[in-house]
Each structure stands twice: as C-alpha cells, then as structure tokens.
Amino acid sequence: MGNADFECRHRVGVPPPKPFLLSLKSSLKETFFPDDPLRQFQNQPPGRKLVLGLQYFMPILEWAPRYTFEYFKADVIAGITIASLAVPQGISYANLANLPPILGLYSSFVPPLVYAMLGSSKDLGVGTVAVASLLISSMLTKEVNPIQNPKLYVQLALTSTFFAGVFQAALGFLRLGFIVDFLSHATIVGFMGGAATVVCLQQLKGILGLVHFTHGTDLVSVMRSILTQTHQSKRKGAFFWVNALAPLMSVILGSLLVYLTHAEKHGVQVIGHLKKGLNPPSVSELAFGSEYLPTAIKTGIITGVIALAEGIAVGRSFAMFKNYHIDGNKEMIAFGMMNIAGSCTSCYLTTGPFSRTAVNFNAGCKTAVSNIVMAMAVMFTLLFLTPLFHYTPLVVLSSIIIAAMLGLIDYEAAIHLWKVDKFDFVVCISSFLGVVFGSVEIGLVIAVVISLLRVLLFVARPKTHVLGNIPNSVAFRSIDQYPVARSIPGILILQIDAPIYFTNANYLRERISRWIDEEEDKLKSSLEIGLQYVILDMSAVGSIDTSGISMLEEIKKTLDRRGLKLVLANPKSEVMKKLDKSKFIEAIGEEWIYLTVAEAVGACNFMLHSCKSNSTHSCKSNSTKTIESEEAQADNIV
C-alpha cells in the first residue's frame, strides 16, 4: 500500500491446499463423529482395544466393576418405586394403543433389561409412553380394526416396533443422530400438548363407559362420538368412578371395589383375564409378508423418531442435574436394540418416559440397575400377580392416563415461547392445532415443515447490518443495535450474518446494492465526503459456494463502475480457499483483504487522507467541505 504503517498489518492467509479426499474425510468426521470415539483406541494393545470396544457398545461393562453395595441399596429402592408406576401405566398405555393389556406388562420386562446393558443414562426409566401408544393406535386403526381383527392388529404393532428399533439402531450406528434435531423444542412442546389433549379426550371412552367409540384421534371425531352416545352412558350410572391418589393405589382400590360389589355385572368395564407367565416369543408374529407391511414400516419410523426425541431429551435433562454426559448415538443404539428385542418377545414400542424417569430420579437411583430391579418386579407380577388385575376397571386406567397427560400440556412453555420468539410460538401452536383438529401425523408434519421453512428462510434471507465505530474503541458494531456507533465518512461497512450460498446470493447482491444506493443518497443530501469504500465484514460467513463467489464478482464490477473500492474483512479459511481458487483474491488484490474491520477502516482512512493531501490523486467527493471533527475521528481509528 506504499506506507510502512500498513505493511506490518496481519495478513489474512490462504490455508494450504488439502487433497479433496482428505477434506471430504475431515468434513464427514466432523458431521458423523464429532466426539471422535476412536481416539481412546489409539496406541492401545489389541487386548485393551477389545475391552474398550466392548465397553463402548455395552456401557454396563464400564461401570459395573465400580458398582458398590450402597449403589445397590439406592437402586433397589428406586427400582421398586418405578415398578409400582410401571405396572398400572403399562396396562393403561397398552389399552390406549388398543393392544391387549398384558403386552404393556411384557414391555416393562425385556426392554429395561436390554437398556440397562446398552444405555448411557443413569436415570432413565424405560417403558411404554402415551404419545407413542396413541401414534400406534391412530396409524394402525386406519388400516385394521383392532376389535374385528385383533390378531392382525397385534402383529402389525409388533412389526412396527421392530422397524422402529431397526431405524433407531441404524441412526445410532450410522451416526445420524442429528436427524432428531429437526424436531425443535417448540415442535415437541406443541406436539406433546396436542397429543396429551387427544389422549385425554380418548379416555372419555373409559370414563363415560362408551362401547362403540371412534378410532379417530381428532377433536371433531371424538366429540361427535361422545355426543351420539351420551344418552347410553347416563343409564350406567357413576358407580365406576374412583378418585386415585396414585396409579398403583388406584388399581388396587378400583379392583377391590369392583370385586366386592360385582360392578362388572352392572356395566363397569374391566380388564378381564391376564395370562400368567413371562413374555412368549413373537418372532413368528412379525408380519413381514402382510399386505399392510408399508403401514407398519411407516408407523415404525414415525413412532421411532418421536420415541427417540422424547427419550434422549428426557435423559439429557436429568443428566444435567447430576453433571454427566449422555452419548446420543449410544442412546439410539440402546433404544433400537431394546425395541428389536422387544418386538421378538411380545413387547411394543418403549422409550424413556418423563414420568417414570422423574420418579426414578427422585427415588435416588444411582445407575441403570434400577431398571433391572423394576424388570424383576414386573417379572414377579407376570408370574404370580396377573390374576389380581382381572377386576381392574378401565375407568381407573383412563384416569391414570389423564393424570399423566395433564403434565404434558406445558402452557408455561408456550407462554415463554410467545415472549421470547413469536415464530417458535407459531410452530408450537401449529403443531398443537394440527394434532387436535387433524391427527398426530398431520400435527407433526405441519410443525416440522414450518420449522424447516424457518431454517430455509434464515438461509435465503440472511441478516445484513451497517456497522459503525463505538467511540473511544476499535470495536465496530451494528448501528441499529448500538445507537452510539458512528459511521465513518466515505466508508460503508456491511456485515453478512450467514454462509453465502446459491439460495441467498441474489438477495445479498440486491441488498448490498440497496445499501450502497441509500448510503450515497444520504451522503449527497448531507454534503459529506462521498462514498469511496465498501467493507464487507465476513467474520460470520463460514462457507461460500460458486454462486456466492459469482455474487462477490458482480458486486466488485458494480463498484468498479461507480468508482468505489471493495474491501473484505476477516474471511474464514474455507472462504479464503475458494476465493483463492476462483482467482477472486487476485482480482480484488490481496492488499484489500484485512484481518479485522478496524484494520480495513484504518487502511481506507489512510487512503482517503492521502488522496486529499496529494493533488495527483483524483478523489471522488460530493463536497470540498470537511469538518474538523470528522478528520479527528478518522485519525483516531487509524
């Protein structure tokens, strides 16, 4: 630049060339293996690598050698506690899924044992959940009536569980856990609230003693079914209503009441016979050759994603309280394997429900052994206690589900979304309304689509800001955010807040052109120094594609025609590499790329001052009048 003051500036370097395959490998590793799981295997003997590998895929082998009797006492108490919740909930949620109640107990035996060996959470309580049960019911009943063809319905439920497990395990093994991140917090809040509302409405069947109830899950279908049958339920009386303080006490008291009064003979619906014994094998029941296989696959994938999102979110939430880390990909493998194993042993979809996990946590669990204790308690129930549930009234199961679901309608979270981010609130309420007035699938699709549209909108219309100098500093910030920030005479500083891709290149070209036009018009009307330099702060531009490079080339040509100079500040290494390969650095001149906005402004100010003091330079200016305070400001920044 012809001046020693700027020859010693920090140059923005072009990263050394890297082979394409090496760059691709690095990108794939960062995408799929950000935690670098192979690092612990480096420089280890073969025997140690084998042990580490087994511990990686079976975390129980890692913590079991350090297990103590104190931990065992705490886990036994927690396991028995959650078993008291698991038994009534398992039966209730199976009823919600239109499945035989015994499958709910089966699902609280085998899956927790599998998770205890493969899961990385110390607190997660494994079992069936209401939302997944509702999803299974709503999707399968569209194809098969569970009353008219119960055997085929059960086969499809087991088959969908198998494919849910395969999908979940595949996500874990292929390190594709980021797919679950497409379900935003707002989506989950709205979806859970809507699903909980629908579940509560569905339980009016049991509360009101309705027999011919709709299989639809939307509000209109449920209310129509209730209104058309209300006159029937009035004749049955309210004998079956029981207030419950806790799920297990509800079952015990309800069963005793029905048994002592013979209420089942007066219209109170009961569970009926439950077969004694452990889970029977069900591999032969998987309907791989059924004409409804596509429905089972679709149901499995959708319920699998929802179960993953809920289970991982719950596990991470409680892990934060104890300050330990949960490996998302390990959790996916654990969920997948326990559902595959469950589908082969008469279990339907399981995950980590919030209610059971909260009880497990508050009961003082230390490790996943609490799940093993719970499974043993359920095993004892299956072997010896199932006849006791014969007289359990369905109204009790409905009340248990409603009590659990009311906690999922998180109106406080919705209010918080409204205060913080109106768009997130729209996503939330869209998901809620889609579930309530459409179906669980429609609500989920609407929420995901709106969330993706928001991401696309952010990418396609990134924010651009005019920067100014904070007085008495070298910091440059948005003039809109910091009113004290002052613009620099003759220099327009623009910040781009997103990667530059084909989706936003045209918009950015037009937006930058409008900024330049507005700045020139403002300077003409104020009789200040004419615009000479346009500085693009690219510190937030992480990457750029060929469309983005073409946009920069067009911007440069436009500025050249106007007699203006384009200057870049702090482009990232990936951006510099592509600008170098496209010869853009050569076109703009390496001396016009700076490490910071302050350096770029200093260089531009120096050139402006040199231009004014040297008559051999032709300076673009809208006015010969220069205010002394502006010159002092420029000197300070240099």
pLDDT (tens digit per residue) in 232-272: 433 433 332 233 335 667 777 877 887 788 777 776 777 77
SS3 assignment, position 288: coil
Domains of the chain: 69-98+106-210+243-456 (no CATH), 462-610 (3.30.750.24)
pLDDT at 234: 39
Specify the pairing of strand 464-469 against strand 593-594: unpaired
pLDDT at 33: 58
Tokens 């007085």, located at residue = 471
Band the pLDDT of 614: cuts 50, 70, 90: low
pLDDT at 530: 80
Contact call for residues 101 and 271 (beta carbons, < 8 A): yes
pLDDT digits (tens, 9 = 90+) for 396-406: 777 766 766 66
pLDDT at 5: 45
String of b and e for 258-281 (b: at least 16 CB within 10 Å)? beeeebbeeebbbbeebeeeebee
Question: Regarding predicted confidence, which is higher, 510 or 427?
Answer: 510
Specify the pairing of strand 593-594 against strand 565-569: parallel
How much is the average pLDDT of 452-479?
Answer: 87
Nearest to 440 by CA among 219, 227, 223, 225: 219
pLDDT at 623: 35
pLDDT digits (tens, 9 = 90+) for 272-302: 778 889 999 999 999 998 899 999 999 999 8
pLDDT at 286: 93
pLDDT at 230 over 50: no
pLDDT at 21 over 60: yes
Question: Regarding predicted confidence, which is higher, 93 or 231?
Answer: 93
Cα–Cα dist 438/195, whole Å:
11
pLDDT at 341 over 50: yes
Question: Regarding predicted confidence, which is higher, 424 or 495?
Answer: 495
**Residue 637 identity (one-letter amino acid):** I
How much is the average pLDDT of 422-437?
Answer: 83
* 439-448, 524-533, 542-551: which is most confident: 542-551
pLDDT at 222: 56
Please tell me the least confidently modeled range out of 180-184, 273-277, 581-585: 180-184
Question: Regarding predicted confidence, which is higher, 615 or 333?
Answer: 333
Cα–Cα dist 578/500, whole Å:
12
pLDDT at 613: 62
Band the pLDDT of 219: cuts 50, 70, 90: low
Question: Regarding predicted confidence, which is higher, 575 or 221?
Answer: 575
How much is the average pLDDT of 434-448?
Answer: 75
Cα–Cα dist 23/183, whole Å:
30
Contact call for residues 83 and 379 (beta carbons, < 8 A): no
Band the pLDDT of 7: cuts 50, 70, 90: very low
Contact call for residues 128 and 88 (beta carbons, < 8 A): no
Six-digit token pair at 230? Answer: 């209300």
How much is the average pLDDT of 548-572?
Answer: 92
How much is the average pLDDT of 71-97?
Answer: 87
Nearest to 440 by CA among 243, 226, 190, 106: 190
Cα–Cα dist 145/214, whole Å:
11
pLDDT at 300: 95
Band the pLDDT of 573: cuts 50, 70, 90: confident
pLDDT at 193: 74
List for the chain the helix, strand, coil content (%; round to 5): 65, 5, 30
pLDDT at 629: 38
pLDDT at 355 over 80: no
pLDDT at 32: 56
* 154-158, 209-213, 590-594, 610-614: which is most confident: 154-158
Specify the pairing of strand 533-537 against strand 476-478: unpaired
From the number of C-beta atoms within 10 Å of its C-beta (0-12, 13-18, 19+), residue 293 rates as middle
How much is the average pLDDT of 417-437?
Answer: 83
- Mean pLDDT, all residues of the chain: 79
SS3 assignment, position 475: coil
Please tell me the least confidently modeled range out of 229-238, 251-260, 416-425, 504-513: 229-238
Nearest to 441 by CA among 137, 130, 104, 184: 137
Which residues, listed in sequence order, are joined to residue 465 by a DSSP beta bridge?
495
DSSP conformational letter for 311? H
CB-based contacts of 196, cutoff 8 Å, min separation 6: 130, 131, 405, 406, 408, 409
**To the nearest whole percent, how much of the chain has pLDDT over 90?**
27
Band the pLDDT of 556: cuts 50, 70, 90: very high
pLDDT at 3: 44
**To the nearest whole percent, how much of the chain has pLDDT over 70?**
76
For 391, phi then psi, to 5°, come to: -95, 10
